[in-house]
Amino acid sequence: MDELINKLKKEVITQLNLEDISEDDINPDSPLFGEGLGLDSIDALELIVLLEKNYGIKIEDPKDGKKIFHSIRTMAEYITEHQKKA
Amino acid sequence: MEYINGIGIISPQNTLPGQGFLEAVVEQTADFLKSVEPVYKSYIDPIASRRMSRLIKMGITSAKICLRDAGIDAPDAIITGTGLGSVEDTEKILGELTIEEKFLNPSPFIQSTYNTISSQIAISLKCHEYNSTFVHRCFSLESCLTDAVLQIREGSAANVLAGGIDEMTLNHLTIIRRLGMWKREAIRNLDLWTSETPGALAGEGSAYFVISSEKNEKTYARLAAVETLYKPSSTMQTASFVKQFLADNGLMPAEVDLVLMGSNGYSEHDRVCNEVIMQSVPAAARVLYKHLCGEYHTVSGFALYLAANIISRQMIPSCMPLLQRKPEKLENILIHNHFRNTDHAFILVRV
């Protein structure tokens, strides 16, 4: 899980072009939206693209997004769970 | 009357705040003249800027520099002229489409529209006033300035933020080169006037102005008039148009002190430019400037920055070669710009 969390941190930094933010600055349990990293709705779209492109995961129900993208850890858990199912 | 009360410009020269007025010329040997860009973090929140293309950062930053220069927090209107808009974002989205359409990154798509620049400036300034963008090829900035003047004359605005912006990318340059518009080889900008190869030297830049209804201690010069002439039938027709343009503004040709020439290093077109000015304002001193900024759709913005500063400082920078005698005074400056002898634009700047 830790390995996936670190990989996800790198991918999020690259995909969202988070200049001046390093992997160490991201707490895996901090919220990605609002407080924490302060991401917005366009970032949410970019994260959906990231999951589909890098992990082959398509989010069918948009309502799930809020839970999946709460933090880096929830994203990692969702990916792991999805990969087990596959 | 309308006055230029603030200027913010990012160009291939050192034109940022605190860098003086073209004291040291920037030499570039390149396919196109690239802007000398500031550290954007000083002007735009990094969280907001991470998604912005270079063009949008240039636009917002020059707009903010301009407002600071004018001592204004928020304008009554924001108007932008651009010939090409966000080329880099458009290339990104088209590039992604050709690879795999289903994994499209939304940011370049959202920002690839022409009106993104004016909108992003408004968002950044939290300005909810009139916001417009003109995409009229080489008349884009002229249309923008005309709208600014109309906003003021109609009483809709007292201070208008108006500017022109265009970026160049290597990809776009390569495509347009095939049409013979740009020089096919990299050249040193200071050698532009001795170059005998066809095509112009491409450039880019962003220039914003606060156009105001009132003169104040910040005023550079008066924006007296803006006119355009599309596809003239002859050089004589263009020259007559210039004489009428001056007459409409109460000026005799002999009263024009200086002409900023629209020449761009493409000798076939520069000949037309020379003939027009020699037939219409033969006694005026003339200076060249496109070796400093290159050619682009809204290059009149760089010329307007020059004219406003020349009048305000009463001096012509040494990097602009005079084609005739030194003018006795610097009160009436005519800017001529033209694109392949089809789009002629004239801006009159007065003390």
Q: Do A42 and B106 touch (CB under 8 A)?
A: yes
A1-21: average pLDDT? 90
Confidence category of residue A76, pLDDT binned at 50, 70, 90: very high
Q: Do B103 and A53 touch (CB under 8 A)?
A: yes
Please give the ipTM for the structure prediction: 0.70
Domain of residue B299 covers 221-350
Q: Record the tokens describing residue B173, joined without a space.
A: 């340059």
Q: Report A:1-60 residues touching B (Cβ under 8 A).
A: 16-20, 38, 42, 45-46, 49, 52-53
Do both B132 and B241 map to the same domain?
A: no
Percent of chain B with pLDDT over 90: 87
Query: Distance from B48 to chain A by nearest Cα, in Å?
Result: 10
pLDDT at A83 (0 to 100): 83
Dump pLDDT digits (tens) for A44-72: 988 998 999 899 998 888 788 889 999 99
By Cβ distance, the residue of A19, A45, A49 closest to B46 is: A19
Residue of B103, B104, B110 with shortest CB distance to A42: B110
Could you tell me if B89 and B183 lie in one domain? yes
Strand B77-81 and strand B130-134: pairing? parallel
- Listed in sequence order, the residues at least 6 apart from B279 whose beta carbon sits closer than 8 Å to its beta carbon are B235, B236, B239
Task: Please indicate whether residue B20 or residue A36 has the higher confidence score (pLDDT).
Answer: B20
pLDDT in tens, A18-37: 877 889 989 999 999 987 77
Q: How many domains does chain B have?
A: 2
Band (pLDDT 50/70/90 cuts) for residue A77 is very high
Query: Looking at the predicted structure, is the pLDDT value of residue B185 above 80?
Result: yes
Looking at the predicted structure, is the pLDDT value of residue A1 above 90?
Answer: no
Write down which residue in B212, B231, B252 finishes a domain.
Answer: B212
The pLDDT > 70 percentage for chain B reads: 100
State whether B78 and B106 are in the same domain: yes
Average pLDDT over residues B218-231: 98
DSSP summary character for residue B254? G
In a shared domain, residues B9 and B148: yes
Round to whole Å and give the CA distance between B136 and B300.
Answer: 13
Q: Where do we find the tokens 């080489």?
A: B138
Residue ending a domain, among B162, B194, B212, is B212
- Residue A41 is predicted with a pLDDT of 86
Residues B39, B137: one domain? Answer: yes
Q: How big is the CA angle at B21 (ends B281 and B190), to the nearest 5 degrees?
A: 70
Are B239 and B332 members of one domain? yes
Q: Could you tell me if residue B11 is left (phi over 0), alpha (psi between -120 and 50 degrees) or otherwise beta?
A: beta
Q: Give B105 or B57, the one with higher predicted confidence.
A: B57
Of B296, B309, B308, the closest CA to residue B337 belongs to: B296
- One domain for residues B227 and B199: no
Q: Which helix (H) or strand (E) segment is B347 a member of? A: strand B343-350
- Cα–Cα distance measured from residue B164 to residue B43, given in angstroms and rounded to the nearest whole number: 19
Are B200 and B227 in the same domain? no
* Whether B166 and B295 share a structural domain: no
Q: Which of B47, B301, B210 is nearest to A16 (CA)?
A: B47
Task: Count other C-beta atoms under 10 Å from residue B266's C-beta.
Answer: 24
pLDDT of residue B318: 94
What dotted CATH number matches A2-85?
A: 1.10.1200.10
CATH code of the domain containing B289: 3.40.47.10
| HSE of B133, CA atoms in CB hemisphere, 13 A | 20
Among A16, A45, A53, the residue with its CB nearest the CB of B50 is A16
- Whether residues B24 and B165 share a domain: the answer is yes
Please tell me whether the overall predicted TM-score, pTM, comes out greater than 0.90 for this model: yes
Q: CA nearest A56: which of B206, B177, B14, B102?
A: B102
Residue B186 has pLDDT above 80, yes or no: yes
Q: Which of A74-83, B89-98, B212-221 has the lowest mean pLDDT?
A: B89-98
Does pLDDT of B114 surpass 70?
Answer: yes
Q: Examine the domain organization and report whether B26 and B137 are in the same domain.
A: yes
Q: Which amino acid is at B307?
A: A
pLDDT of residue A86: 67
Q: Please list the residues that pair with B226 across neighbouring strands.
A: B347
Nearest CA to B341 out of B268, B246, B265, B242 is that of B268
Tokens of B24: 């040291």
Where among B154, B184, B212 does a domain terminate? B212
Mutate to test the interface with B, among A22, A43, A51, A58 (most CBs of B within 10 A): A43
pLDDT tens, B55-87?
999 999 999 999 999 999 999 999 999 999 999
